[in-house]
Amino acid sequence: MRMRIGELAERAGVSTRALRYYEQQGLLPARRAGNGYREYDEADVRLVTEIRTLLAAGFTLDDARPFVDCLRAGHDSGGSCPQSIAVYQRKLAELDREIGDLIRRRADLASQLARACPGCALSPKGTNDDRSDQRDLRRAGPARRHTGTGRILGRVVPALPDDRADP
């Protein structure tokens, strides 16, 4: 089934501008009809869907190339070719480095907080490990009082913690 750019855009959930950009980048081949209009087929819907899925997962258009090439070669999955697998592995290694960096940054911030606010503590929130990335901040001291149900919206607002000092 042949379709024009507007129909492909609608079926793939993208703009015609995005499709033209993918074509410009060499990811989406466009055949031209006798009247000069771009023509696409069902395989192109799959290509655009693969590109969008990869972009949503944090891949770049250059990262998507091996996946698109794999689909164009007739494979059922864009991730089944060796070049695609190499991209997956590279992206996972990048994420692992970023996660490590975030954990180190969080530990630095927690140290700064501990120095700046000695009365504050990080308390575990029902975790079975000691990782600080799953904790929340609370001020050490007696438990807070809770006020009654609010009058706003016909008593729909739940009780709120009262942060005022006890009289």
Provide the 3-class DSSP secondary structure of residue 11: helix
- Whether residue 33 is contained in a domain is answered as yes
3-state secondary structure 107-156: HHHHHHHHHHCCCEEEEECCCCCCCHHHEEEEECCCCCEECCCCCCCCCC
Whether the pLDDT of residue 123 is over 50: the answer is: yes
- Whether residue 69 is contained in a domain is answered as no
Mean pLDDT value of segment 59-63: 95
- Whether residue 93 is contained in a domain is answered as yes
Q: Where does the pLDDT of residue 120 fall: very low under 50, low under 70, confident under 90, or very high at 90 and above?
A: confident
**Same domain? 95 vs 54:** no
**Same domain? 52 vs 90:** no
Chain centroid offset of residue 18 CA: 19
**Same domain? 123 vs 90:** yes
pTM: predicted TM-score of the whole model, two decimal places: 0.65
Tokens for 52, please give them.
């969008």
- Whether residue 130 is contained in a domain is answered as yes
**Same domain? 134 vs 88:** yes
DSSP assignment, residue 61? H
**Same domain? 54 vs 91:** no
- Whether residue 156 is contained in a domain is answered as no
Task: Give the tens place of pLDDT for each residue, 34-55.
Answer: 888 889 999 999 999 999 999 9
Q: Where does the pLDDT of residue 33 fall: very low under 50, low under 70, confident under 90, or very high at 90 and above?
A: confident
- Whether residue 74 is contained in a domain is answered as no
Structural domain count of the chain: 2
Q: Residue 33 sits in a domain of what CATH number?
A: 1.10.1660.10
Tokens for 18, please give them.
């995005």
- Whether residue 145 is contained in a domain is answered as no
**Same domain? 17 vs 50:** yes
- Whether residue 67 is contained in a domain is answered as no
Task: Give the tens place of pLDDT for each residue, 90-114.
Answer: 999 999 999 999 999 999 998 998 8
Give the pLDDT confidence score for residue 1 in this predicted structure: 75
**Same domain? 99 vs 133:** yes
Domain of residue 132 covers: 81-138
**Same domain? 50 vs 88:** no
Which region holds residue 41: left if phi is over 0, alpha if psi is between -120 and 50, else beta?
beta
